[in-house]
């Protein structure tokens, strides 16, 4: 049964992303030869990813319990899973994005050293297949950690759906009441609930897709830079700069997102660093925190919805904006890969 399911899933992938494609199979076989011992086995790699996640849950509990001073307290016991797993997932997501970039940024330099680059770039189609195969290989190398991110998100979705049944199924009505514009007259209450349901579905979809599009974009960015900076020293410099920028961007997004929802314990410092915060800047800060900070994890925690929806006018649309961001990010990733392959196949100027 699992084999049939896997076959059907693989059939949905584009040709270059299927493991039986010659270009991708060559890269996967080369990667498997480099792996040592049992680490090459898929089950072992998944178990290792789960073990790393569970190990990170210890500091996750420490942070969620106010550094061990108070117990993890939530209205629903299952919501405590989110509080404990939040920072471990953020850490895994950040490391996965850095790995995705580093796995592709040195492609041209590595193939040049191996003496295969000239053969690959003879035709645009050959370069395109090589770049897309390397792009797809990133997902195969990261799949255990992507699986952990996805499974955790599915658990959060189930908990959120269970929470929506509270108050005799009227919890969503309560969340929407007083919000702008869905909680204002003259909208019909029944229409408001329908629109709210669609918005929640869009928010959950964005949160489920965000890790995949983020990894795809960073891997595609690495390919683009590998073409622009083909030397080994330049690619190494690009890795260092990217890691620093990624840490700074993610840290900033998490900070402004937490500040927008009043979740940071350093409220005084936040107000000193960002004086004169307006409703628009708060809305954008919440969006940045979810789109680039935690990759939509906040969208899966219902207790944050009142702060997100009621504290900001049109805050109910932040989730829709995150879904739009995910779609644009996926399109940009595909465009970067196409540009990189065409640029690589173009004749070099004197």
The answer as to whether 82 is a domain residue is no
Residue 341: closest CA among 238, 224, 239: 224
The answer as to whether 219 is a domain residue is yes
Residue 159: closest CA among 300, 316, 309, 304: 300
pLDDT at 247: 93
pLDDT at 119: 63
Instruction: Report how many domains make up the chain.
Output: 1
pLDDT at 269: 45
The answer as to whether 32 is a domain residue is no
The answer as to whether 46 is a domain residue is no
pLDDT at 173: 83
pLDDT at 333: 95
**Distance between CA atoms of 132 and 241, rounded to whole angstroms?**
24
The answer as to whether 265 is a domain residue is yes
Q: Which residues of the chain are under the pLDDT cut of 50? A: 2, 37-38, 266-270, 272-273, 275, 350
Domain extent, residue 137, equals 87-345
- Tokens standing for residue 34: 């480099």
**Distance between CA atoms of 43 and 273, rounded to whole angstroms?**
47
- Tokens standing for residue 66: 């106010």
Question: Is residue 24 classed exposed, middle or buried when 0-12, 13-18 and 19+ CB atoms within 10 A define those classes?
Answer: buried
**Distance between CA atoms of 127 and 118, rounded to whole angstroms?**
10
The answer as to whether 140 is a domain residue is yes
In the three-class reduction of DSSP (H, G, I as helix; E, B as strand; rest coil), residue 312 is classed as coil
The answer as to whether 122 is a domain residue is yes
The answer as to whether 316 is a domain residue is yes
pLDDT at 94: 95
pLDDT at 12: 67
């Amino acid at each position: 049964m699992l084999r049939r399911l896997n076959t059907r899933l693989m059939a949905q992938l584009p040709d270059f992303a299927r493991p039986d494609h010659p270009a991708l199979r060559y890269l996967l076989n080369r990667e498997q030869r480099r792996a040592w011992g049992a680490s090459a086995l898929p089950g072992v790699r998944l178990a290792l990813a789960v073990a790393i996640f569970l190990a990170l849950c210890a500091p996750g509990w420490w942070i969620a319990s106010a550094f061990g001073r108070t117990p993890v307290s939530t209205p629903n016991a299952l919501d405590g899973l989110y509080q404990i797993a939040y920072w471990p997932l953020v850490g895994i997501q950040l490391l996965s994005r850095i790995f995705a970039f580093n796995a592709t940024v040195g492609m041209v330099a590595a193939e040049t050293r191996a003496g295969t680059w000239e053969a690959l770039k003879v035709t645009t189609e050959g370069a395109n297949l090589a770049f897309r195969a390397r792009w797809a290989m990133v997902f195969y190398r990261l799949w255990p950690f992507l699986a952990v991110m996805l499974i955790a998100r599915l658990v959060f979705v189930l908990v959120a759906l269970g929470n929506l049944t509270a108050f005799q199924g009227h919890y969503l009505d309560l969340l929407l009441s007083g919000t702008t514009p869905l909680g204002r007259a003259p909208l019909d209450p029944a229409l408001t609930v329908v629109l709210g349901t669609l918005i929640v579905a869009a928010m959950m979809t964005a949160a489920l897709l965000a890790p995949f599009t983020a990894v795809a974009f960073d891997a595609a960015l690495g390919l683009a830079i590998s073409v622009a900076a083909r030397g080994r020293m330049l690619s190494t410099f690009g890795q260092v700069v990217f890691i620093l920028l990624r840490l700074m961007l993610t840290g900033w997004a998490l900070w402004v997102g937490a500040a927008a929802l009043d979740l940071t314990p350093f409220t005084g410092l936040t107000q000193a660093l960002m004086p004169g915060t307006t409703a628009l800047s708060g809305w954008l800060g919440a969006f940045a925190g979810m789109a680039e900070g935690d990759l939509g994890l906040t969208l899966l925690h219902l207790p944050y919805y009142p702060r997100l929806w009621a504290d900001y006018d049109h805050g109910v649309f932040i989730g829709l904006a995150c879904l739009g961001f995910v779609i644009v990010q996926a399109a940009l990733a595909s465009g970067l890969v196409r540009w990189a392959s065409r640029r690589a196949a173009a004749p070099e100027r004197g």
